């Protein structure tokens, strides 16, 4: 056998096909990783057994041998009635958890009849204005038997209160509820951009949620610290990893600053990552994430409970990797991305539908997406053993490179005054815009091939059916919320809103007051309007 | 003599916060030598038209991924007409099914629409071919 240096010499004499050989994040990759050029990991220090510090190999001892990841498809459109039917369909097809997508007015804190909601009701998700809508959304779905994730950020306290109130109406007490609210405002300023209030009062709402959950909703994941949106906005894998974990540490610090003991809220922090097309880069990212989180939580924040050290995460396959051209190819992309997430040890997974570049998914398309997960679980064999890629020269090297790169970013973020300082200086936003621009240039110069877009192009007409949102549903929803305001006890509503205002102006936990308001059928928009008066509104200084 | 540069307003109307495409296009147009104003997010049609007139742009580019395009394009077009500013070209991109694109173009609610996957060079070429820079 030749030495590595001799192999390299022989390699240089051979013809290489056209490069560049780089990851989706433009990171160059070596032709070979072997014992002489890999990262020399120490098993106990760097990997650990599954379920053991630093959890690189997985957060549980038995991982998928004990329980598969939750198959949790993000869904929601039109009004609560249509979305309720879609949830029932997905549950009947073998999905094991619910995930709610709200429309833009609900995301931004406007009722369906607000002037700014015009044309947007029910288009990107379900319209929820009040408890009445929440009850319809979960009609015949027992909330003590199913866990629900809700993608809501700025108004998360209100949507969570609506869920708790709807469950109470079903006879389910809050301590039995399981699920997640995304509730990650920092990444809104950075990437998803669905903010309402400025950072400080937003963090206050989040720490109020941490505190309330500890005593009243202990099985609930109070936050889903997200990299998905950062990646969708154009970041590299490393930026996604580093910025997400930096946000996570900022939330830990906020909780501690609010007077909470780290072990009282850290076990209920959860994460949400993207799964993009570069197979091994993504797997390395997830493994590095677990190791970094465990190390910092133990060594920097002094967490003592094992649950505080576990990075539990949901994954969604990359929307931004899908193409409008030849959309059936997206089924294949999603399958590879889902496989990477499973090999990376995700706890929960959403697979995109092939038509999502063009519209919300049809029933047929989302069924294929769900079957993709089921085929991985039942037919591919990858869930038979825990962390099968551990020890790979390539994967362990990439994992360590991810960790090293993230630590460097943490230093840069500190130099900018921490996450809030970095947001104010547009540090993250500029990094993301630069990465997005570089990616686009690579495609246009054919340094990066996207099948069907800049290579293997066909002239075919679009042949798949697309979901359409009937514009009449906006009119129906507007009528519904107007009628609600006429028929409810408006004196009680005014009183509860005053209580919300009083709590917002002071330091009392806002959640019990918001729950009282939603139970009185105050609308989301009305509660947000009160909070806006006290907290103000956020304004960005856009860079590109 | 200095060449007059084409002036473009890239705008994000409505509640949609997805600005990756808008920002990439804005930068590509700037790199191609145009004067680019980026409106930022959450703009109303009224705000967009006001900015376009104030900044004396040649073209407005709207980025819409929220499905609200059939409401927003006609509204912006109407405001341009009401303000005698309909010499400003109206283009855009985002998540729009083909039949909606055909509808908007046929009814002159937009001058050109660019779907996902369009290279920035195509957009630059269209602007250069269809706009003579005003003073």
B27 touches chain A (CB under 8 A): yes
Is B2 among the domain residues?
A: no
Test A324 with B115 for CB contact under 8 angstroms: yes
Note the helical H segments in A425-467: 427-444
Average pLDDT over chain A reads 97
A155 with A528: CB under 8 angstroms?
A: yes
Query: How many whole angstroms from its chain centre is CA A542?
Result: 23
Assess whether pLDDT exceeds 90 at residue B3.
Answer: no
Phi-psi category of A389—alpha, beta or left, where left has phi over 0 and alpha has psi -120 to 50? alpha
Nearest to A54 by CA among A240, A311, A232, A275: A311
Determine contact, residues A100/A106, Cβ cutoff 8 Å: no
Q: Is A192 on the interface with B (CB under 8 A)?
A: yes
Question: B39 vs chain A: nearest CA distance in angstroms?
Answer: 8
Closest-CA residue to A363 (of A173, A125, A85): A85
**Quick check: bond before A439 cis, omega within 30?**
no
Say what the pLDDT of residue A2 is.
79
Q: Yes or no: say if A497 and A82 are a contact pair by the CB < 8 Å rule.
A: no
Q: Give the position of tokens 């769900």.
A: A370
CA distance B69 to chain A (A): 8
Q: What is the mean pLDDT of residues B20-32?
A: 97
| Nearest C-alpha neighbor of A156 from the set A196, A97, A200 | A196
Half-sphere exposure of A336 (CA within 13 A, CB side): 14
Nearest CA in chain A to B122: A444
Rounded Cα–Cα distance for residues A116 and B13 (Å): 10
What's residue A358's pLDDT?
A: 87
Residues of B in contact with A104 (CB under 8 A): 14-16, 66
- In A261-418 the beta strands, taken as DSSP E runs, fall at 269-275, 313-317, 348-350
pLDDT confidence of residue A391: 98
Residues of chain B contacting A436 with CB distance shorter than 8 Å: 20, 23-24
Picking from A104, A234, A469, the nearest residue to B20 by CB comes out as A234
Residue B32 inside a domain? The answer is yes
CB pairs under 8 A between A and B: 92
Note the pLDDT of residue A160. Answer: 98
A386 Ramachandran zone, left/alpha/beta (phi>0; psi -120 to 50): beta
Whole-angstrom Cα Rg for chain B: 14
Whether chain A has a CB inside 8 Å of the CB on B17: the answer is yes
Is residue B1, in this structure, part of any structural domain at all? no
B104 in any annotated domain = yes
**B135 pLDDT more than 50:** no
Q: Is residue B28 part of a domain?
A: yes
Decide if B47 touches A, using CB distance below 8 A.
no
Whole-angstrom distance, CA of residue A312 vs CA of residue A272: 8
| Residue A123 with chain B: CB contacts under 8 Å | 66-68
User: Does A455 touch chain B if contact means CB atoms closer than 8 Å?
Assistant: no
**Edge-to-edge order in the sheet of strand B112-114:** B35-38, B7-11, B59-64, B89-94, B112-114
Within 8 A of B95 by CB-CB distance, chain A residues are 357-359
How far apart, in whole angstroms, are the C-alpha atoms of residue B57 and residue B53? 7
Record: contact B117-A469, CB cut-off 8 A:
no
**Set of chain B residues whose Cβ sits within 8 Å of the Cβ of A188:** 17
Q: What is the pLDDT of residue A460?
A: 82
Give the number of domains in chain B. 1
Q: Please indicate whether, in this complex, the C-beta atoms of B97 and A466 are within 8 angstroms of each other.
A: yes
Interface test with B, best of A102, A122, A123 (most B CBs within 10 A): A123
Question: What are B88-133's pLDDT values in tens digits?
Answer: 999 999 988 888 999 999 999 999 999 888 999 999 999 999 997 5
Asked whether residue B50 carries a pLDDT value surpassing 60, the answer given is yes
> What is the CATH number for B111?
3.40.50.280
Enumerate residues 6+ apart whose C-beta is below 8 A from B46: B79
Mean pLDDT, range B75-82, rounded to an integer: 98
Residue B50 lies in a domain: yes
A232 min Cα distance to partner chain B (Å): 8
Q: What is the pLDDT of residue A315?
A: 98
Three-state SS at A3: coil
| Residue-wise pLDDT tens digits, A23-70 | 999 889 999 999 999 999 999 999 999 999 999 999 999 999 999 999
Q: Which residue has the tokens 């840069």?
A: A412
Kindly provide the ipTM of the predicted complex, given to two decimals: 0.94
Residue A261 burial (C-beta neighbours within 10 Å; 0-12, 13-18, 19+):
middle
Task: Indicate the angle between helix axes A237-257 and A427-444, nearest 10 degrees.
Answer: 160
**Which residues of chain A register pLDDT less than 50?**
none
What is the C-alpha separation between A324 and A517, in angstroms, rounded?
44
Name which of A116, A358, A436 is nearest B20 (Cβ-Cβ): A436
Quote the minimal CA–CA distance from B95 to chain A in Å.
Answer: 6
Q: Is A542 on the interface with B (CB under 8 A)?
A: yes
Give me the domain span that covers residue B91. Answer: 7-130
The reported pLDDT for the residue numbered B133 is: 56
Tell me whether B37 touches chain A (CB under 8 Å).
no
**Chain B contact for A323 (CB, 8 A cutoff):** yes
Domains along chain A with CATH numbers: 43-444 (3.20.20.240)
Residues whose CB is less than 8 angstroms from the CB of residue A130 and which lie 6 or more positions away in sequence, other chains included: A162, A481, A484, A518, A521, A522, A523, A524
CB contact under 8 A, A544 and B117: no
Q: How far is CA A355 from CA A74, A365, A368, in A?
A: 14, 7, 11
Rounded to whole angstroms, the Cα distance separating A213 from B10 reads 43
Chain A residue with minimal CA distance to B71? A119
The C-alpha atoms of residue B114 and residue B24 are separated, in whole angstroms, by: 14
């Amino acid at each position: 056998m030749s030495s590595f240096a001799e192999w390299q010499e022989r390699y240089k004499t051979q013809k290489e096909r056209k490069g560049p050989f780089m990851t989706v994040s433009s990171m160059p990759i070596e032709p070979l990783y072997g014992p002489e050029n890999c990262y020399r990991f120490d098993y106990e220090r760097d990997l650990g057994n599954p379920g053991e510090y630093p959890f690189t190999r997985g957060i549980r001892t038995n991982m998928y041998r004990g329980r598969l990841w939750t198959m949790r498809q993000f869904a929601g459109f039109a009004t609560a009635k249509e979305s309720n039917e879609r949830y029932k369909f997905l549950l009947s097809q073998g999905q094991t958890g619910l995930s709610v997508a709200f429309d833009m007015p609900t995301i931004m804190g406007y009722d369906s009849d607000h002037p700014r909601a015009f044309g947007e009701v029910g288009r990107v998700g379900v319209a929820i204005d009040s408890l009445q809508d929440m009850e319809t959304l979960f009609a015949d779905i027992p909330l003590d038997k199913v866990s629900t994730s809700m993608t809501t950020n700025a108004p998360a306290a209100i949507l969570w209160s609506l869920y708790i109130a709807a469950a109470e109406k079903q006879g389910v007490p809050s301590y039995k509820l399981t699920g997640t609210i995304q509730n990650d405002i920092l990444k809104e300023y950075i990437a998803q951009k669905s903010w309402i209030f400025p950072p400080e009062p937003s963090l206050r709402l989040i720490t109020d949620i941490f505190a309330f959950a500890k005593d009243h909703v202990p099985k609930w994941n109070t936050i889903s610290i997200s990299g998905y949106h950062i990646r969708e906005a154009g970041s590299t894998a490393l930026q996604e990893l580093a910025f997400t974990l930096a946000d996570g540490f900022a939330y830990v610090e906020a909780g501690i600053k609010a007077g909470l003991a780290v072990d009282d809220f850290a076990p209920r922090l959860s994460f949400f990552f993207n799964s993009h097309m570069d197979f091994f880069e993504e797997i390395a990212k997830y493994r590095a994430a677990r190791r970094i989180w465990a190390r910092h939580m133990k060594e920097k924040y002094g967490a003592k409970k094992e649950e505080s050290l576990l990075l539990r995460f949901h994954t969604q396959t990359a929307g931004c990797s899908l193409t409008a051209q030849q959309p059936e190819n997206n089924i294949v992309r999603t399958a590879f991305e889902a496989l990477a997430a499973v090999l990376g040890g995700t706890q929960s997974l959403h697979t995109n539908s092939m038509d999502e570049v063009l519209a919300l998914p049809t029933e047929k398309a989302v069924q294929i997406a769900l079957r993709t997960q089921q085929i991985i679980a039942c037919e591919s064999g990858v869930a038979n053993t825990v962390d099968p890629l551990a020890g790979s020269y390539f994967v362990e090297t990439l994992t360590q490179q991810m960790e090293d790169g993230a630590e460097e970013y943490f230093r840069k973020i500190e130099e900018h005054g921490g996450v809030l300082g970095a947001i104010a200086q547009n540090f993250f936003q500029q990094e993301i815009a630069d990465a997005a621009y570089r990616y686009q240039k690579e495609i246009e110069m054919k340094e990066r091939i996207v099948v069907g877009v800049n290579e293997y192009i066909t002239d075919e007409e679009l042949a798949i059916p697309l979901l359409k949102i009937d514009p009449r549903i906006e009119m129906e929803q507007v009528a519904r919320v107007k009628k609600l305001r006429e028929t409810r006890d408006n004196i009680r509503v005014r009183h509860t809103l005053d209580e919300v205002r009083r709590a917002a102006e002071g330091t009392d936990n806002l959640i019990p007051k918001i729950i009282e308001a939603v139970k009185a059928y105050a609308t989301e928009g009305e509660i947000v309007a009160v909070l806006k008066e006290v907290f103000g509104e956020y304004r960005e200084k856009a860079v590109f | 003599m200095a060449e007059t540069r084409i002036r473009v307003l890239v705008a994000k109307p409505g509640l949609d916060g997805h600005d990756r495409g808008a920002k990439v296009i804005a930068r590509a147009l700037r790199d191609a030598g145009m004067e680019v104003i980026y409106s930022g997010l959450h703009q109303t049609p009224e705000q967009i038209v006001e900015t376009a007139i104030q900044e004396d742009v040649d073209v407005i580019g709207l980025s819409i991924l929220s499905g609200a395009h059939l409401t927003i394009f006609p509204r912006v077009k109407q405001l341009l007409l009401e303000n005698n500013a309909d010499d400003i070209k109206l283009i855009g991109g985002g998540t729009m099914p083909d039949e909606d694109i055909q509808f908007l173009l046929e009814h002159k609610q937009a001058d050109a629409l660019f779907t996902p996957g369009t290279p920035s060079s195509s957009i630059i070429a269209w602007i250069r071919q269809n706009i003579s820079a005003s003073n």
